[in-house]
Amino acid sequence: WFKHSSNISGTDYLLANFNDAGYKIYMTSAGALCLGIDDDSTWGPDDSTCTPYAYNDSRWHHFAAIKSGTASITMYIDGLQASQNASLSATSSLNTDSSLYIGNDTDGGSNGWVGFLDQIVVYNYARSAAQVKVDHNGGTANFGP
């Protein structure tokens, strides 16, 4: 869950996990929420997907960002699919050995999230649309594959 004020000074990072491949979830200066992935040592990102709408409205929103193997990355907002990239160039696995930064970029000090975050969960498998909907509606999550 996230809540962001209407004030955005640049790119605000919700989650960042990157060191020789990884992912970042961030809000653009226009208020769109994006998922970017990269499979090499330089942050590009290689692939991304961004919501078509702004969410810097000072309201709580449920979100889910899913990488489904080498096929696609998908963003869900409030239980509904908001964006998808089904033509990925980053085909290798993401490095999840690096630190997970919540509310900051991977340098730990820049592009801080301006708002609130709650119930952040990272799964080791791709969640289905039905599972995302259950999470949004207050269901309990299964933390296994």
| pLDDT, tens digit (0-9, with 9 covering 90-100), for 2-47 | 999 888 878 898 998 877 678 889 999 999 999 988 877 677 778 8
Is residue 104, in this structure, part of any structural domain at all? yes
33 in Cβ contact with 13 (< 8 Å): no
pTM confidence score = 0.85
Query: Could you tell me which residues are beta bridge partners of residue 81?
Result: 76
Return the SS3 of 112.
Answer: coil
pLDDT, residue 17, reads 85
| pLDDT, tens digit (0-9, with 9 covering 90-100), for 113-129 | 889 999 988 888 888 88
State how many domains the chain has. Answer: 1
Is residue 92, in this structure, part of any structural domain at all? yes
Q: What is the CATH number of the domain that holds 103?
A: 2.60.120.200
What is the domain extent for residue 94?
2-136
23 in Cβ contact with 36 (< 8 Å): yes
96: which DSSP letter?
Answer: -
pLDDT, residue 78, reads 94
In the chain the first and final C-alpha atoms are separated, in Å, by 22
Rounded Cα distance, 119 and 89, in Å: 31
| pLDDT, tens digit (0-9, with 9 covering 90-100), for 101-115 | 888 888 777 788 889
Is residue 141, in this structure, part of any structural domain at all? no
Return the SS3 of 130.
Answer: helix
Q: pLDDT at residue 94 above 80? A: no
Q: Which residue has the higher pLDDT, 27 or 145?
A: 27
- The dihedral through the CA atoms of 46, 56, 109, 122 has a sign that is negative
Is residue 20, in this structure, part of any structural domain at all? yes
Q: pLDDT at residue 70 above 90? A: no
Is residue 142, in this structure, part of any structural domain at all? no
pLDDT, residue 139, reads 62
Is residue 24, in this structure, part of any structural domain at all? yes
Residue 27 C-beta-side C-alpha neighbours within 13 Å: 31
Is residue 143, in this structure, part of any structural domain at all? no
pLDDT, residue 9, reads 76
Q: pLDDT at residue 87 above 90? A: no
pLDDT, residue 95, reads 64
